[in-house]
Amino acid sequence: MKKILFILSAMVALHASAEKKQGKFTLNGKVTDTETGFVLIRNLTKQLPDTVRIEKGEFKYIGQTDPGTPYVVTDETNKYQMFFAEPNADMHMILKRKEMQVTFIDGSSAQEVFRKLLAAQDPLQRVVDQMQQEGSKPGANRDSIQQLIMQINNQRNANFYRFLKENGNSEVAAFLIYSSITNERGIDATIADTMNSFLTGPAKTCFYGLEAQKSTNKLRAVTVGYMAPDFTQPDTTGKNYSLSTFKGNYLLVDFWASWCGPCKGEIPFMKEAYEHFHAKGFEILSVSLDDKREAWINALRQFKMPWAQVSDAKGFRSVVNELYPIPSIPKTLLLDKTGKIIATDLRGPALDSKLEELLGK
């Protein structure tokens, strides 16, 4: 939420649903600082940009778009400006090509919605930029400057929530929520749920509205207090295990791989916990993210772990990665008897201590 415009290379290119009501829009551009050249225009739901020629200081682009779709106009160095198009829009833009600065744009109601947020946030961003420059100077009171920046960021967050409340039926809001969830490290499942609660009507069911909900579901999948989503995978014999298989017991879900040194370093602690607490109602399900079945099986022979071991041998393309955000391993979730997450990433003796708390010594 602290950032509204994100680095282009960090954006996730996603393919829009074919069921959406698409239509053509036109963007007429006037370039004030060059007569010739080109700009790149990219629909952020597409992988590649379109190259548009500048002739006599003008360019024209005709695109196929869904309602409230985010675009960027950019150059070869990835300087860019974002705008929102919609079917049947007749848009006009004034651009400084060398700075990749849009000084004027109109013709789209979705862009007008976006402009409301920019009008509230841009002045605050300029103040933050200025303060950061001041903070880099010798003798600057960095603690005081940082406190002021925090206050401004709190105001920006408040502005963002006010924008969502007032424009929750807009596809623009859906895109901004999706971008925040996928780009801001500080956003957890509770914050994501709060943001999604503002979406209504077309914003909730549009492409980015659905993607925002998917991203939120992934955050829930590794957050204490939420139910862990069920999945099914086979062991080495082909027998299937699901999380629901273990309901009625405390379950440690252990995401690991044979090539992961820290994962293997946790095995002695898990063995100790399993030996001590298994009879009291504690289970472990190890889910391998190996992409080579033979390497996984060899590791099982080596470490002789006496609990259920499953894998689809697809590595980080495994079905579990569709449900859980697992950027790195080891990753563990401790579930209660109903399948709710009660702790995450218990390493070393911390697992034993938590189980003592739950099941006694």
Domain limit, last residue, from 84, 107, 130: 107
> 59 near 53, Cβ under 8 Å?
yes
Q: According to the model, what pLDDT value does residue 137 have?
A: 87
CA atoms within 13 A on the CB side of 328: 3
* pTM of structure: 0.78
Q: According to the model, what pLDDT value does residue 142 have?
A: 87
Question: What b-and-e string marks burial along 159-197, b requiring 16 or more CB atoms within 10 Å of the CB?
Answer: bbeebbeebbebbbbbbbbbbbbbbeeebebebbbebbe
| 280 located within any domain | yes
Tell me the average pLDDT across 172-192.
Answer: 91
Query: Does residue 186 have a pLDDT over 90?
Result: no
Domain carrying residue 332: 232-359
| 216 located within any domain | no
Domain limit, last residue, from 107, 135, 164: 107
SS3 188: coil
Kindly report which listed range (49-53, 120-124, 181-185) carries the lowest average pLDDT score: 181-185
- Residue with more model confidence, 11 or 290: 290
Q: What tokens were used for 174?
A: 């859906």
Give the pLDDT band (50/70/90) at residue 10.
Answer: very low
Q: According to the model, what pLDDT value does residue 3 have?
A: 43
- Residue with more model confidence, 15 or 232: 232
Query: Does residue 189 have a pLDDT over 60?
Result: yes
Percent of the chain whose pLDDT exceeds 90 = 83
Q: According to the model, what pLDDT value does residue 136 have?
A: 86
| 118 located within any domain | no
> 208 near 247, Cβ under 8 Å?
no
CA dihedral 257, 263, 264, 266 (to 10 degrees): -150
Question: What b-and-e string marks burial along 69-79, b requiring 16 or more CB atoms within 10 Å of the CB?
Answer: bbbbbbeeeee
Give the pLDDT band (50/70/90) at residue 45.
Answer: confident
| 187 located within any domain | no
| 167 located within any domain | no
| 213 located within any domain | no
CATH number at residue 276: 3.40.30.10
| 155 located within any domain | no
The CB density around residue 277, as the number of other CB atoms within 10 Å, is: 23
Q: According to the model, what pLDDT value does residue 16 have?
A: 42
Angle at 164 between CA 160 and CA 167, to 5 degrees: 130
Distance CA 10, CA 215 (A): 15
Q: Estimate to the nearest angstrom the gap between the alpha carbon of 338 and the chain centroid.
A: 27
What's the pLDDT tens digit per position in 338-357? 999 999 999 999 999 999 99
Query: Does residue 72 have a pLDDT over 70?
Result: yes
Q: According to the model, what pLDDT value does residue 5 have?
A: 40
Domain limit, last residue, from 107, 122, 148: 107
Q: According to the model, what pLDDT value does residue 209 have?
A: 96
Query: Does residue 264 have a pLDDT over 90?
Result: yes
Tell me the average pLDDT across 293-308.
Answer: 96
* Mean pLDDT score across all residues of the chain: 91
Query: Does residue 297 have a pLDDT over 90?
Result: yes
| 251 located within any domain | yes
Instruction: Name the packing angle between helices 189-196 and 207-220 (round to 10°).
Output: 150
CATH number at residue 57: 2.60.40
Residue 123: partners with Cβ closer than 8 Å, 6 or more residues away: none
Percent of the chain whose pLDDT exceeds 70 = 94
Residue 323: partners with Cβ closer than 8 Å, 6 or more residues away: 217, 218, 221, 229, 231
Q: Structurally, how many domains does the chain consist of?
A: 2
SS3 85: strand
Query: Does residue 20 have a pLDDT over 80?
Result: no
What's the pLDDT tens digit per position in 199-225? 999 999 999 999 999 999 999 999 999
